[in-house]
């Protein structure tokens, strides 16, 4: 096993590394998901916005069919509601569509609200619909993405909601650390998934001499150092790659441990360079 299992506040477990499926072309997605399963991935993250949900599902389903020793319960499938799907009736329709789409996978391991942008009323309505789908067994876990502390507090403070988010998925890298938000989530037993942990490649060539020394010491790539950094911070990184050869190397991070001083060398606490959207501060 190339990962460990992390227990969520729901009692369910999630693999500590997932394959981010954003921007993987639909024509390649099923093949890459299948190959990822072959090298040890058991956690896949997609979204309605990404346009490749069906291909991720197909890749998982085909692998499970070909490898009966791997059970459905071994694989963790995440998707996300897009902004246009928020609001009570929209979310009910969206979940019904997802359940038809999921086919032989039977259930969704984690459904997230992709962003808080549609506003408080709609996002709370949607969360309550998700909670009902959770009770019906359609979903195993529910959570949020790109949420700031105030967005999560409105869920925790709503007396009609019984289920806290299991996950807040936010962009985190050494150049976008979000330490206050991440630590607050963890203090509330809400696990943090780190998307764009490799900065979409933008920062992989901008290595300081100290970073180069760490790479040389452990004989690891910049991507492997960043994935390990995220894991040691207590996050669940979702590295993405379209390159099959990198699937395995991104998982190959169990044979070394950064020292506390090395973690600090990788940290960039004064930087704020998100590579994606910023809506944790939305009203």
Rounded CA-CA distance 105/130 in Å is 18
pLDDT, residue 1, reads 52
pLDDT (0 to 100) of residue 245: 87
Binding positions are 114
pLDDT mean by block of 10 residues, the chain; 283 residues: 88 98 95 97 98 98 98 99 98 98 98 98 99 99 99 98 99 96 98 96 77 94 96 98 90 96 94 92 95
* 3 state SS of 79: strand
C-alpha span between 183 and 279 (Å, rounded)? 18
Per-residue pLDDT, 208? 79
Q: Could you tell me the two tokens for 246?
A: 């990198």
Q: CA–CA separation, 123 vs 117, rounded Å?
A: 8
- Asked if 83 and 115 touch (Cβ cutoff 8 Å), the reply is yes
Annotated binding site for substrate, which residues?
114
* Amino acid 113: pLDDT: 99
> How many residues make up the chain in this entry?
283
- Matching residue, tokens 């609001």: 87
Tracing tokens 């460990």 back to the chain, one arrives at 4
* Coil/strand/helix, residue 230: helix
CA distances from 239 to 117, 167, 187, 253, 276 (A): 25, 17, 24, 12, 14
| Domains, the chain, with CATH or none | 5-202+230-245 (3.20.20.100)
Tokens 């969704």 belong to residue: 108
Distance, in Å, from the CA atom of 39 to the CA atom of 246, rounded to the nearest integer, reads 10
What pLDDT, on the 0 to 100 scale, is given for residue 276? 87
Is 272 an active-site residue?
A: no
* Residues 65, 85: Cα–Cα separation, whole Å: 31
Catalytic residue among 3, 22, 41, 50: 50
Tokens of 226: 């960043």
Cβ 154 vs Cβ 130: under 8 Å: no
Q: Is 226 exposed, middle or buried (0-12, 13-18, 19+ CB in 10 A)?
A: buried
């Amino acid at each position: 096993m190339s990962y460990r299992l992390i227990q969520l506040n729901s009692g369910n477990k999630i693999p500590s590394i997932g394959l981010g499926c954003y921007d993987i072309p639909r024509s390649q997605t099923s093949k890459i998901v299948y190959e990822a399963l072959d090298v040890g991935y058991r956690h896949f993250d997609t979204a309605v916005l990404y346009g490749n949900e069906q291909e991720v599902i197909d890749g998982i389903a085909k692998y499970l069919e070909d490898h009966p020793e791997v059970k459905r319960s071994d694989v963790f499938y995440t998707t996300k509601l897009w902004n246009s799907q928020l609001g009570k009736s929209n979310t009910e329709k969206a979940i019904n569509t997802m359940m038809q789409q999921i086919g032989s996978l039977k259930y969704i391991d984690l459904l997230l609200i992709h962003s808080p942008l549609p506003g408080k009323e709609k996002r709370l309505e949607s969360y309550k619909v998700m909670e009902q789908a959770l009770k019906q067994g359609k979903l195993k876990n529910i959570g949020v993405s790109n949420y700031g502390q105030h967005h999560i507090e409105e869920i925790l403070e709503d007396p009609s909601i019984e289920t806290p988010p299991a996950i807040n998925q936010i962009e985190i890298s050494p150049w976008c650390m979000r330490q206050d938000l991440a630590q607050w989530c963890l203090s509330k037993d809400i696990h943090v998934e780190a998307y764009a942990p490799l900065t979409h490649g933008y920062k992989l060539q901008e290595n300081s001499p100290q970073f180069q020394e760490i790479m040389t010491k452990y004989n690891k790539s910049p991507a492997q150092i960043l994935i390990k950094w995220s894991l040691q911070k207590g996050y669940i990184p979702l590295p993405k790659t379209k390159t099959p050869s990198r699937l395995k190397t991104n998982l190959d991070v169990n044979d070394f441990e950064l020292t506390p001083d090395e973690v600090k060398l990788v940290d960039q606490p004064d930087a704020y360079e998100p590579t994606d959207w910023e809506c944790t501060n939305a009203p």
